[in-house]
Chain A
Amino acid sequence: MSFTIRFIIILFLSATVIDTQSQNADQIFKAAGSPANPKVAISWNHYNDHGGITEICKKIAAAYPELAKLESIGKSFKGREMWCLTITDFKKGDPEHKPGIYIDGNIHSNEIQGSEFAMYTAWYLTETFKDTKFIQELLADKVFYIVPTINPDGRDSYFHEPNTASTPRSGVIPIDNDRDGMVNEDGYDDLDGDGEILLMRRKSNNGRLRVDPADPRRMIQVGPDEKGTYEMLGLEGKDNDGDGQVNEDGYTFEYDPNRDWGWGWQPNYIQNGAYKYPFSLPENRNVLNFVMKHPNIAAAQSYHNAGGMILRGPGGQEDVGTYNSQDVQVYDAIAKKGEELIPGYRYLVVHKDLYSAYGGELDWFYGGRGIYTYSNELWTPYLMFNKDATRDPQDNASYQFDRFLLFKDAFVDWHEYNHPQYGKIEIGGFKKNFGRAHPGFLLESDAHRNMAFTIYHCYHTPKLQVDTIIEKDLGDGLKEITAVISNQRIMPTHSSQDIKFNIERPDYISITGAKVIAGMIVDNPDLNIAREQKNNPATIEVSNIPGLDEVTVRWIVQGSGKYTITVDSKKGGLSTKSK
């Protein structure tokens, strides 16, 4: 017995050493696909409050100045900085001219792990850059804009105030929910003072619940012919304002930050949770300003929890036509790969498979900016035993998982409490870190898988190249120059939504160093069908360069000599070729 105890202590100590400082490189044998001896030592099995996020972001930026830059995109309602890490190979090309992916997390206060997943991405890209050719090429071509939390006030409030796994969803701007002139006067109460809002139960002869004989922590519904022994009294709390209601005006649901975006926005009486007008929440406005300043963002991911889903819009039924078949093909191709990369996650459409909601973030990114955007709902009970679990009340997988893999760390056992209104009750239940958030040992692995999906997503932003240049002598000092511009990835330079509303300017294909007599877009090179551009023929404007496809342009130029052809696309980047 004493031997075992000592053994555990030794293991524990060595784990601590790994967490806090790098080892001598000789002692490490690299595991495939992970940075062997990272400069920034972080363990990805816990959560970080805003202070923690700030630390990690600063460390990454300090350790890799040529790969990571840290800026604040603005302050939250309470004045916390909203950090953004820009990750790219700053030595190769101008970041503003590289196709980009924007990644954020934590828009809902209790949906926390998106922040860790986002930071893991920044950490992984910087730490593996040295050894991994794919990452080097990726960061030469692309830029990642990573904002770990777009709701830092809510995050800290979730961690540091008594809460459930589901509260608070909104940020912390005070609102009088019950319109009685007082704000947040009757929220949850942490009656037993353990920092958790749990469940309240009371013995009752007419209750419809009894204790599960297989696991006394668990309450089960009795059948119609049975008698129960307990009744549930809801979440931990009391009637603070003496109005006969318990917990009716807390800070936990003031408004929904994900109903505050400027595409298909509807007011609160139609869309519950909407605030005053699109981007009326300061945090969302900061994101808006950032995105408007970075038109090179072609892809976006907004991490939520939970359920194991890769979601795309539309959020509202009325917007179905906005997502047309060409764009849905792009969405499908990338998300189907995501389903392979992240076992247990399913690719779904918000309005059809979940619920109809207006003014969501992903709708604005796509509808308002033409950016291909997903929201991953992180964590699924599937990950507990690598098989489908259900939310069926008879399914006790959560209890089994907690008992055999977490050693009952996720549950507070039922204990007695003397309640001012209800009398003798018992308080107990799962802690707020269980049910929606990943347990520690699964956090890194699922972060990695979701990151792999965002890397695939980013990889398939447009990659443009001036492919072939064909010259033909027309005599009399005239020359015909035909250039083929290819896009080697799935995404077009302009989504259909973008083309429909001319959201982003056309792509410019220009020739410099030659005297241009005429310029044209060649619609069919074989049959020689072309459209002339009369105005400014040296810079041909192309409305789109489709994915895995090409466009052909042609100039008639006078004289000979060297010239350069450049393709300049806001979302497709920059590429040149000289001849």
Chain B
Amino acid sequence: MAKLTLVNGQTIISGQTNKAIDTIEGYGTKQLTWVIKGNGKVKLDVGSPSTGSKSIDISL
């Protein structure tokens, strides 16, 4: 599950704030894209019950 947290004035133009990912294979990657309008930082939380979660801040 990938969850995007937006702050003041930021809006998503394309993509979902909560995006479920079916599976990521061992040593695999998945690419997700969002188009966001606004300034500052957004927070992205990615995780699954079996892996724990990781969070990053992305500067727009």
| Direct A–B contact in the complex, CB atoms closer than 8 angstroms | yes
Smallest CB-CB A-B distances: 7 pairs = A532-B33, A518-B35, A530-B14, A520-B14, A556-B13, A532-B14, A474-B37
Judging by beta carbons under 8 Å apart, are B37 and A478 in contact? yes
Judging by beta carbons under 8 Å apart, are B33 and A534 in contact? yes
Query: Which of B11, B13, B16, B37 has the most C-beta atoms of chain A within 10 angstroms of its own C-beta?
Result: B13
Residue of A nearest to B13 (CB): A556
Indicate whether A480 reaches chain B with its CB closer than 8 angstroms.
Answer: yes
- In chain B, residues 6-60, which have Cβ atoms closer than 8 Å to a Cβ of chain A? 11, 13-16, 33, 35, 37
Residue of B nearest to A472 (CB): B13
* Residues in chain B near residue A554, CB distance under 8 A: 14
Indicate whether A173 reaches chain B with its CB closer than 8 angstroms.
Answer: no
What are 25 A-B interface contacts by the 8 Å CB criterion?
A: A474-B11, A474-B13, A474-B37, A476-B37, A478-B13, A480-B13, A517-B35, A518-B14, A518-B35, A520-B14, A520-B35, A528-B14, A528-B16, A529-B16, A530-B14, A530-B15, A532-B14, A532-B15, A532-B33, A532-B35, A534-B33, A554-B14, A556-B13, A556-B14, A556-B35
Task: For residue B12, give the distance in angstroms from its CB to the closest CB of chain A.
Answer: 9
Q: In the complex the two chains form, what is the Cα distance from A530 to B14 in whole Å? A: 7
**What is the total of A-B residue contacts with beta carbons within 8 Å?**
28
* Residues in chain B near residue A532, CB distance under 8 A: 14-15, 33, 35
Task: For residue A40, give the distance in angstroms from its CB to the closest CB of chain B.
Answer: 57
The 8 A CB mask of A538-579 against B (1 = contact, 0 = none) is: 000000000000000010100000000000000000000000
Residues of B within 8 A of A (CB): 11, 13-16, 33, 35, 37
Residue of B nearest to A475 (CB): B37
The 8 A CB mask of A497-535 against B (1 = contact, 0 = none) is: 000000000000000000001101000000011101010
Residue of B nearest to A533 (CB): B33
Q: In the complex the two chains form, what is the Cα distance from A518 to B12 in whole Å? A: 13
Q: In the complex the two chains form, what is the Cα distance from A476 to B10 in whole Å? A: 12
- In chain A, residues 463-490, which have Cβ atoms closer than 8 Å to a Cβ of chain B? 474-476, 478, 480
| Extra contacts besides A474-B11, A480-B13, A520-B35 (7): CB < 8 Å | A474-B13, A478-B37, A518-B14, A528-B14, A528-B16, A529-B16, A532-B14
* Residues in chain A near residue B35, CB distance under 8 A: 517-518, 520, 532, 556
Q: In the complex the two chains form, what is the Cα distance from A530 to B15 in whole Å? A: 7
Q: In the complex the two chains form, what is the Cα distance from A520 to B15 in whole Å? A: 10
* Residues in chain A near residue B13, CB distance under 8 A: 474, 478, 480, 518, 556
* Residues in chain B near residue A534, CB distance under 8 A: 33
Q: In the complex the two chains form, what is the Cα distance from A430 to B15 in whole Å? A: 74
Q: In the complex the two chains form, what is the Cα distance from A247 to B59 in whole Å? A: 87
Q: In the complex the two chains form, what is the Cα distance from A475 to B9 in whole Å? A: 11
* Residues in chain B near residue A480, CB distance under 8 A: 13
Residue of B nearest to A480 (CB): B13
- In chain A, residues 445-470, which have Cβ atoms closer than 8 Å to a Cβ of chain B? none
* Residues in chain B near residue A518, CB distance under 8 A: 13-14, 35
Q: In the complex the two chains form, what is the Cα distance from A530 to B16 in whole Å? A: 9
* Residues in chain B near residue A517, CB distance under 8 A: 35
Residue of B nearest to A531 (CB): B33
Q: In the complex the two chains form, what is the Cα distance from A518 to B37 in whole Å? A: 11
Task: For residue A121, give the distance in angstroms from its CB to the closest CB of chain B.
Answer: 48
The 8 A CB mask of A161-195 against B (1 = contact, 0 = none) is: 00000000000000000000000000000000000
Residue of A nearest to B14 (CB): A530
Task: For residue A534, give the distance in angstroms from its CB to the closest CB of chain B.
Answer: 7
Query: Which of B14, B15, B33 has the most C-beta atoms of chain A within 10 angstroms of its own C-beta?
Result: B14
Q: In the complex the two chains form, what is the Cα distance from A478 to B33 in whole Å? A: 19
* Residues in chain A near residue B37, CB distance under 8 A: 474-476, 478
Q: In the complex the two chains form, what is the Cα distance from A240 to B14 in whole Å? A: 82
Residue of A nearest to B11 (CB): A474
Task: For residue B50, give the distance in angstroms from its CB to the closest CB of chain A.
Answer: 25
Residue of A nearest to B32 (CB): A532
Residue of A nearest to B19 (CB): A529
Q: In the complex the two chains form, what is the Cα distance from A156 to B16 in whole Å? A: 68
Q: In the complex the two chains form, what is the Cα distance from A528 to B15 in whole Å? A: 8
Task: For residue B25, give the distance in angstroms from its CB to the closest CB of chain A.
Answer: 20
Q: In the complex the two chains form, what is the Cα distance from A554 to B15 in whole Å? A: 12
Residue of A nearest to B33 (CB): A532
* Residues in chain A near residue B16, CB distance under 8 A: 528-529
* Residues in chain B near residue A556, CB distance under 8 A: 13-14, 35
Residue of A nearest to B35 (CB): A518
Task: For residue B18, give the distance in angstroms from its CB to the closest CB of chain A.
Answer: 12
- In chain A, residues 30-51, which have Cβ atoms closer than 8 Å to a Cβ of chain B? none
* Residues in chain A near residue B11, CB distance under 8 A: 474
Q: In the complex the two chains form, what is the Cα distance from A60 to B40 in whole Å? A: 70
Residue of B nearest to A534 (CB): B33
Q: In the complex the two chains form, what is the Cα distance from A476 to B37 in whole Å? A: 9
Task: For residue A86, give the distance in angstroms from its CB to the closest CB of chain B.
Answer: 44
Task: For residue B48, give the distance in angstroms from its CB to the closest CB of chain A.
Answer: 21
Task: For residue B21, give the distance in angstroms from its CB to the closest CB of chain A.
Answer: 14
* Residues in chain B near residue A474, CB distance under 8 A: 11, 13, 37
* Residues in chain B near residue A528, CB distance under 8 A: 14, 16
* Residues in chain B near residue A530, CB distance under 8 A: 14-15
